[in-house]
Amino acid sequence: MEKLIIVEDNEEIRSQLRWGLSKEYEVLVAGDRPEALLLFKKHLPKVMTLDLGLPPDEAGCEEGFRCLEDVLRLSPATKVIMITGNEENENALRAVQSGAYDYYRKPLNLAELKVILARAFHLAAIEKENLRLQSSLDQHCLTPGGIIGHSPQMLEVFSSIRKVASSEVAVLVTGESGTGKELVAKAIHELSPRKSAAFITINCGAIPENLLESELFGYEKGAFSGANNRVQGKVEYANKGTLFLDEIGELPLNLQVKLLRFLQEKTIQRVGGREDISVDARIIAATNRDIIKETEAGTFREDLYYRISVIHITLPPLRDRGGDIMLLANFFLRKFGNEFRKKNCRFSPGSVKLLESYEWPGNVRELENRVQRAVIMSDEPIIEPESLDFSLKTAKERVHSFTNMTLKDAREMIERELVIAAIENHNNNMARAADVLGISRPTLYDLVKKYNIAKSFE
């Protein structure tokens, strides 16, 4: 049973509160500041009520404020509910500004006070869990790589990373956009014998097709108009290190052939060149596409698929990672709180509920962006749903509208709305819309086609 300290100089009110609250709490009572502090130091309750008018200043309020100051100095997290008279509006506001959790005006209504107490204990429990999650971050952070998680799915991913890191085999990392595929690739590199060499990244979906070959393999002087010097490609720069091919599902078929040749022979030719150049680079690839379906459709070579997926690591979406949501949310809250010099930030119970129930179509990347926005936009240390850009009314309406839908249909509906919103918000600029959504432009065009989104794009 939770302990509750009642600080009240009126013996009749003390008795009334002890009798009325004894079924819910272990009630401890004090009649003045010294007695209250002795009880507080001994029991350190999460919540206490404090009358402003304490002896020897029953008609004033300074003794009550001194008691509030002493309690919060001993335990800043304690929820202190100030008890004031009806005419003491100024003192009530002063109490909240001084760190009190809430205030209640006399005469006391037991039912109303019980609601306030229940909320205070609930918030104290949430904050305690937040602190526990924050203190456990180091235990659940795979370093190097900075991957955070303690769900069974992520522990399995961590195990796979450790097992494959010491080998030289190619690794394919798959998962939805925003799940952390590049972090996995970096972790494998940092735990491998190649960690002292370069980790080179190239996004196969972010570079125009006519430039992608020279980005990958480099070019010789005079290979094309404007090629005034010999330039090495990303593959050469990754020699002795690791080459991370992000969004490999976007790679055109003609370049898939050349990549396959490199994987088979460990040699490349620059654009416009004839010399075979030996390159020793480990390949880690990633995609958010269903690569098996791509091979069946003929848009991705089957022989290349088998070459890049000797080991296949699948990252779970954030919505399936359970307690990892709040673990990550608190990590980002602490990170951005320090970055923007906003200390002691914490989530309100309403924010915790929404964070845990939201589908997270943008996964960890979306969670990080929402928490960053909340820290910047919130004027208070308690982060409310509005700062996270959540609408309680909208969230409830959406849940109700999904009642008769399958999970797949609901996800597709959200995905379609996000695509439309991103395109509209960026005035049909597909590059910016794709960047906000965390996907490549070809993937965005595929979604536009999939959902039959009629727009005149620039």
Task: Tell me the CATH number at 431.
Answer: 1.10.10.60
Between CA 290 and CA 198 the distance in angstroms is 29
- Of 94-103, 286-295, 398-407, least confident by mean pLDDT is 398-407
pLDDT of 262 = 95
- Of 104-118, 274-288, 298-312, 413-427, least confident by mean pLDDT is 413-427
In the chain, % of residues over pLDDT 90 = 47
Between CA 325 and CA 176 the distance in angstroms is 16
| Of 263, 290, 316, the domain-final residue | 316
Q: Do 33 and 127 lie in a common domain?
A: yes
107 pLDDT exceeds 90? Answer: no
Q: Do 16 and 123 lie in a common domain?
A: yes
Q: Do 327 and 429 lie in a common domain?
A: no
- When pLDDT is averaged across residues 378-399 and rounded to a whole number, the result is 68
Q: Do 412 and 442 lie in a common domain?
A: yes
CATH of the domain at 255: 3.40.50.300
Give the model confidence (pLDDT) of 280-321 as tens digits. Answer: 999 999 999 999 999 999 999 999 999 999 999 999 999 999
Residue at 140 is within a domain: no
Q: How confident is the model at residue 458 (pLDDT cuts 50, 70, 90)?
A: very low
248 pLDDT exceeds 90? Answer: yes
Q: Do 306 and 271 lie in a common domain?
A: yes
pLDDT of 293 = 92
| Of 316, 338, 357, the domain-final residue | 316
* Bigger pLDDT: 171 vs 88: 171
pLDDT of 387 = 87
Residue at 165 is within a domain: yes
Residue at 325 is within a domain: yes
pTM of the model: 0.61
101 pLDDT exceeds 90? Answer: no
Residue at 418 is within a domain: yes
Work out how many domains the chain is built from and give that number.
Answer: 4
Q: How confident is the model at residue 456 (pLDDT cuts 50, 70, 90)?
A: very low
Q: Do 311 and 327 lie in a common domain?
A: no
Q: Do 331 and 393 lie in a common domain?
A: yes
3-state secondary structure of 35: helix
444 pLDDT exceeds 90? Answer: no
Q: What do you get for the CA distance between the two ends of the chain, in Å? A: 64
pLDDT of 457 = 43
pLDDT of 253 = 93
Q: Do 255 and 107 lie in a common domain?
A: no
| Of 70, 105, 135, the domain-final residue | 135
Most confident of 58-62, 152-156, 407-411: 152-156
Q: Considering the chain, what is the average pLDDT of its residues? A: 86
Residue at 154 is within a domain: yes
* Bigger pLDDT: 444 vs 405: 444
Q: How confident is the model at residue 146 (pLDDT cuts 50, 70, 90)?
A: confident
Give the model confidence (pLDDT) of 196-246 as tens digits. Answer: 999 999 999 888 888 999 999 999 998 888 888 999 999 999 999 999 999
- Of 24-33, 142-151, 166-175, least confident by mean pLDDT is 142-151
Residue from 141, 110, 173 nearest 313 by CA: 173
Q: Do 159 and 194 lie in a common domain?
A: yes
Residue at 141 is within a domain: no
- When pLDDT is averaged across residues 405-410 and rounded to a whole number, the result is 69
Between CA 80 and CA 192 the distance in angstroms is 53
Contact partners, residue 9, CB within 8 Å, separation at least 6: 31, 32, 51, 53, 54, 55, 58
Q: Do 276 and 171 lie in a common domain?
A: yes
Domain assignment of residue 450, given as a range: 404-458
| Backbone conformation region of residue 218, classed left if phi is above 0, alpha if psi is from -120 to 50, else beta | left
* Bigger pLDDT: 453 vs 282: 282
Give the model confidence (pLDDT) of 24-74 as tens digits. Answer: 999 999 999 999 999 999 999 999 999 988 888 887 888 989 999 999 888
Q: How confident is the model at residue 393 (pLDDT cuts 50, 70, 90)?
A: very low
Strands 267-268 and 242-246: unpaired
- When pLDDT is averaged across residues 149-176 and rounded to a whole number, the result is 92
pLDDT of 35 = 93
Q: How confident is the model at residue 455 (pLDDT cuts 50, 70, 90)?
A: very low
* Bigger pLDDT: 5 vs 137: 5
442 pLDDT exceeds 70? Answer: yes
Q: How confident is the model at residue 136 (pLDDT cuts 50, 70, 90)?
A: low
3-state secondary structure of 142: strand
Between CA 446 and CA 272 the distance in angstroms is 32
pLDDT of 151 = 86
Residue at 142 is within a domain: no
Between CA 277 and CA 269 the distance in angstroms is 6
Q: Do 239 and 286 lie in a common domain?
A: yes
* Bigger pLDDT: 420 vs 27: 27
Residue at 174 is within a domain: yes
Most confident of 83-97, 366-380, 441-455: 366-380
Q: Do 61 and 73 lie in a common domain?
A: yes
